[in-house]
Amino acid sequence: MKIQNYGLFINGEFKEAVKGQVTEVQNPATGEILACVANGSEEDVERAISAALAAQKYYRDLPIVERAFMLQEIARVIRENADHLATIESLDSGKPIIETTEDVIAIADQFDYFAGVLRVETDECLSHDHENITLIMKEPYGVVAQIIPWNFPFLLAGWKLAPALAAGNSVVIKPAMETPLSLLELARLTGEIIPPGLLNVIIGAGSVVGQAMINDERISKIAFTGSTPVGKSIGQAAAKLLVPASLELGGKSANIIFADAPMEKALEGAALAILYGQGQVCNAGSRLFVEACVYEEVVEKLARIFKQVKVGVPIDPDTRMGTLINQKQLDQVLEYVAVGVAEGARLVCGGKRIFDPPFDQGYFVEPTLFADASNQMKIAREEIFGPVLVVIPFETEDQAIEMANDNDYGLAGACWTKDINRALRVARKIDTGLFWINDYHLAPSGTPFGGIKKSGYGRENHKSALNAYSRLKTVYISMTENSTAYYAKFDK
């Protein structure tokens, strides 16, 4: 891929950073330089927010039908450039192209979905009696700050952009410095569709650009996806500004296999739950609870699946697991593997970095399976964010539920069983925002995505996100000319 140069996307144009700084974006699978991008500062955030404010004065009054048409045009452009965007995303993030292609198509659908939601989620009119009515009107917040992580750069950007633009807001969005390219390409491709200033893409260190965004009093709403510690600081910043925030944070999700599960599907689902995205997924099924009577069978068959997974170059269509994002993440995953061994868990397979060519320049790690673990081990309690599965046996349904809930996080979970009554019973009792029955990772447009507890608050991928980017105004209307005679009238 020819090295590209990108500026910051501000007011409909690519511009150099005020201080002239640039940073290189690497392909994590090969170490090759993919692009050089402008590295922003507080001054660049100032420019972006000013452009967003100016655009907001025009865009907030744009008729709904025109706003919906703009979203549909964005969807069209994404579909027309799906291969291009998926390739860039795969090269940039290390994700298999089979996954990034799904992400790109899903976001095209996301923009179409919110174009439809926008047309039907209209203002309300309440008729109290023959003389009084109330209008409940939805208005945009104004300028929205959005911060995107590196694990799903295009998907999560789309999940935030579509409802924010649908609601009439202007956006200043910061992708991760490791993976900014697909969002920058989206800005380029939609430059003639999205009015100048409505979408502004700022790249830079979170401690500089991110802080400048969330501390600016002109920001009216903050949306963040990332780690729980950073999410707490984002929530505190929003509280200081007295603005709403949506926080989609970490997870340590429980996946439960009962003895009566559709076993072949359950085994494939358990592998998908942790190996999809190299395990760098907030809702990854990283804890697998297995009923004791089928425990050894499940461990043995899962090990066989893990050993057969094709780890490969991300742009190879046959690859099912790509590379971790960088050296820091690789070191963290391998450190947790060492901790698991030291804690006494049985390392069934994997656990090592892959050095053989063509993997020697990337951050590839083997699919890793731990068995005979306890729910109190560090590897079962903390988010590893890598392809590391911890398998724990259980005896009863109540025990499985208790262990699943015994965690700080509450993002996702799943169970595998042919007993629908048990499945619904477990789904009700597990403390999560998401739960699958005989499936994992499915999240089509229109299904709320988000967690509870230390996994954050707010929902994306659902029409309720439109309300999360809108504020309500109540307008009372009296239709009579008669006085209410509330105060006594005195004759002179």
Q: Which residues are catalytic?
A: 248, 282
Beta-carbon count within 10 A of 380 CB: 24
Q: In a 3-state reduction of DSSP, which class is residue 381? A: helix
**Please, which residues have CB within 8 angstroms of residue 414's CB and are 6 or more apart in sequence?**
253, 254, 255, 256, 269, 273, 285, 435, 436, 437, 438, 439, 440
Amino acid residing at 114: F
The closest of 272, 253, 176, 158 to 455, measured between CA atoms, is 253
Distance between CA atoms of residues 155 and 15, nearest Å? 25
Amino acid residing at 419: D
Beta-carbon count within 10 A of 133 CB: 15
| CA angle, 125 then 128 then 131, to 5° | 100
The closest of 113, 37, 456, 134 to 282, measured between CA atoms, is 456
Q: How many angstroms from the chain centroid is the CA of residue 99? A: 14
Strand partners, 211: none
> Are 293 and 259 a contacting pair, CB within 8 Å?
yes
Long-range pairs of 347-353 with CB within 8 A, sequence gap ≥ 24: 348/299, 348/302, 348/303, 349/303, 349/306, 349/307, 350/306, 350/387, 350/388, 351/388
Beta strands 8-10; 4-6: pairing state: unpaired
DSSP letters for 177-194: TTS-HHHHHHHHHTTTTS
Q: What are phi and psi of 148, to 5 degrees?
A: -115, 140
